[in-house]
Chains A and B, each alone.
Chain A
């Protein structure tokens, strides 16, 4: 472990892109996974928890995997079986996990890791923000232990589950608003950047050709993920790797472009619930919108662009170093 590594808690709902985010976080020397929490979203909590355990076992990483909330704070759960299949991780035949689930809940694991850590921990949520919102509401003292939140979710423009909302935020918009208004530094990998973090069919073949077992497994995950995107989002020319962006930004922030903004979540719209409403700080201009808010009201670094080639290279390198 490199002495400057960033301790992180992954909070995810694997999910193909969540699984690849776990692979990337496990592979990168700058990142030290202290715990994996699960959340319901892409599939039910039973399935996402099993999937997270399978992936961590596959990677040979015995870090605790702890089960999170089974449903959003105030709403019924919606899932994304059309994207991720019935198991939530359809595609590769993954062996059963070698280690049991943690006897702590996701909430308890977060508390334990944060209390024990002598360095600020980065939270990396790549699913709905339910677990983190509960933690921030009930243990505000632990905010001091959180250095930053690097999350996948939202969009300054557009959505993927509704025209105005991205899936992770839509699943639990109230939780998202609690997180965004927490006062903690946040990096938001929303659709603005993740729709540019595309892996093409060619990239998938280049991963497979590495030949190692993790590389082949990731290629098989991407084979399945690709089917959905070819059917519904053919214009992308590949699959957007949403969740790995939140990890890649930690490992290589220099390949991303971000803008400072105030972000709040619409929780009461007829057509817009789950929309992340992005106001830029003065002096910032993006996409025809001019910054209007005082810079000290900005609460989020919103990612807008990524060097796609460098992003794919980062993944490829990760797959080359793993078994």
Chain B
């Protein structure tokens, strides 16, 4: 049986790749996409999601979500990494369909009711929509099977030394989600900073000449400039890696840990405080991905992207 998922995202170059991969996978049934302000603003990410699904030749609900975090100002630094339009300044065609009239939170709740105990949320942006849905629908947490989340880090952050972008962008939402009792698989920087695609691997994708892989390579150009500037030997494919693990969990090794979200710290706001050594005595609430098989990930990514005609 296919895993029933909703992708909650902020496309975003790496989000775009993740959407293409998800729609191509025979292991996943994408019930819809919910959008959230993150890498760029809500209008842009929603339009991007519609265009990306259209390019892939699908028509599924795309529901607009939160325009910003609960309590703090929206981070607006994403254009530096993702381009002004969020997808590496590649011009995407007009969407072939309109956005859904339901809000992200309503759609998530509706699907959770319809597929109770089956629905999984692939969350690859800030956690605002999920926290909003959980707040609005008190029974929702019991109906959701689990969260597959790109965000956080047991080790170093990226937007600050202590915090990863998706959590930092809305730490209060993250805190609410981590306290909700929903099983969470956390794909943080500990693995995604090592889920690198090399220049040669990008060249091989482009050489296929196929439309979807070539668009992905065009988008990744902007992304490559950023990662080169910070000294990486490739591009970190954060969101595609989390998505790939929804397809094939054997790509990673987990450790079950208790994770708290810091919302108050002066220097550490948005840190996922991961109790790796078990010093708190608190019960684990998250499976934290710590090791990965990079080569098999790139193989899966390439297979999925190249499966489009």
Contacts and interface: CB of A to CB of B under 8 A. Distances in A.
A170 to B, nearest CB: 11
Given A272-B273, A288-B194, 10 more contacts: A160-B277, A162-B279, A163-B258, A164-B268, A266-B268, A270-B265, A271-B265, A272-B265, A278-B161, A288-B190
13 contacts: A157-B155, A163-B273, A163-B274, A163-B277, A267-B266, A268-B266, A269-B264, A269-B268, A271-B261, A275-B267, A288-B193, A288-B194, A289-B156
Given A158-B276, A163-B274, A287 B155 contact: yes
A269 B279 contact: no
Contacts of A162: 273, 279-280
A164 B273 contact: yes
A246 interface: no
Given A162-B280, A269-B262, A275 B268 contact: yes
A271 B260 contact: yes
Interface residues of A, number: 33
Contacts of B275: 163
A265 B279 CA distance: 20
A188 to B, nearest CB: 14
A271 B260 CA distance: 7
Contact of A275 (B162, B274, B277): B162
A291 B229 CA distance: 11
Interface of A is mostly: loop
B179 to A, nearest CB: 12
Contacts of A190: none
A233 B277 contact: yes
Given A266-B265, A277-B162, A288-B193, A157 B154 contact: yes
Contact of B156 (A157, A159, A163, A264): A157
Contact of B280 (A156, A163, A266, A286): A163
Contacts of A272: 162, 262, 265, 267-268, 271, 273
Contacts of B158: 289
A5 interface: no
B155, B193, B230, B265: which has the most chain A beta carbons within 10 Å?
B265
Contact of A271 (B190, B273, B276, B278): B273
A290 B230 contact: yes
Interface in A154-196: 156-164
A277 to B, nearest CB: 4
A206 interface: no
